[in-house]
């Protein structure tokens, strides 16, 4: 089984800290994401759905958008997506469209409130699609964030 690198684990620790800090800010949910490339954090994002009254502003999509802006290109095929929560269906699709080939997340779908997934019958495997498939590593630092997502009140 694939495992996260030390740098990816450090990036997850940062994302967990951002998620916990976001819980304290009005209009923000405690979900954080980052896009990594060549041992550096290219962009980060937290959930801005309530703040921006925009249902598409999930942490992963915010981070993907910032990463494409920072790199000046839409193809993120050489990047890694990190998230404190298993990406939802919309975020997985966005990651696929961006060319992401590796996703690492903390809290897994089966251990969080149902509200985070509107198509519960879809699995991570359903998003593999056409090659190249992406590597998916879940449950990294899961115990550090489960309290944020267990009742859906983050």
Mean pLDDT by 10 residues, the chain (154 residues): 91 96 81 97 94 93 98 97 97 95 96 93 84 87 94 74
Q: How many CA atoms lie within 13 A of 90 on its CB side?
A: 11
Q: For residues 82 and 102, what is the distance between their CA atoms, to the nearest angstrom?
A: 9
Which residues are known catalytic residues? 60
Helix (H, G, I), strand (E, B) or coil at 22: helix
Instruction: Provide the token pair at 137.
Output: 């590593």
**What pLDDT is stored for residue 63 in this prediction?**
98
**What pLDDT is stored for residue 87 in this prediction?**
97
Q: Is the N-terminal amide bond of 132 cis, ω within 30° of 0?
A: yes
**What pLDDT is stored for residue 1 in this prediction?**
52
Check if the beta carbon of residue 76 is closer than 8 Å to that of residue 67: yes
**Strands laid side by side in the 102-107 sheet:** 40-47, 29-37, 80-85, 102-107, 135-137
Q: Where are the beta strands (DSSP E) in the chain?
A: 29-37, 40-47, 80-85, 102-107, 135-137
**What pLDDT is stored for residue 27 in this prediction?**
67
**CATH 3.20.20.70 for domain 6-148:** no
């Amino acid at each position: 089984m694939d495992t996260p690198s030390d740098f990816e684990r450090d990036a997850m620790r940062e994302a967990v800290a951002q998620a916990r800090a976001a819980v304290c800010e009005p209009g923000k949910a405690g979900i954080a994401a980052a896009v990594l490339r060549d041992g550096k954090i290219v962009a980060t994002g937290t959930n801005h759905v309530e703040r921006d009254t925009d249902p598409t502003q999930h942490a992963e999509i915010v981070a993907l958008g910032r990463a494409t802006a920072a790199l000046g290109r839409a193809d993120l095929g050489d990047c890694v997506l990190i998230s404190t929560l298993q990406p939802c269906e919309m975020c997985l699709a966005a990651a696929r469209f961006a060319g992401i080939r590796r996703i690492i997340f903390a809290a897994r779908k089966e251990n969080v409130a149902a509200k985070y997934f509107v198509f519960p019958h879809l699995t991570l495997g359903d998003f593999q699609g056409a090659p190249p498939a992406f590597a998916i590593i879940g449950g990294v630092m899961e115990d550090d964030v489960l309290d944020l997502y267990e009742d859906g009140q983050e």
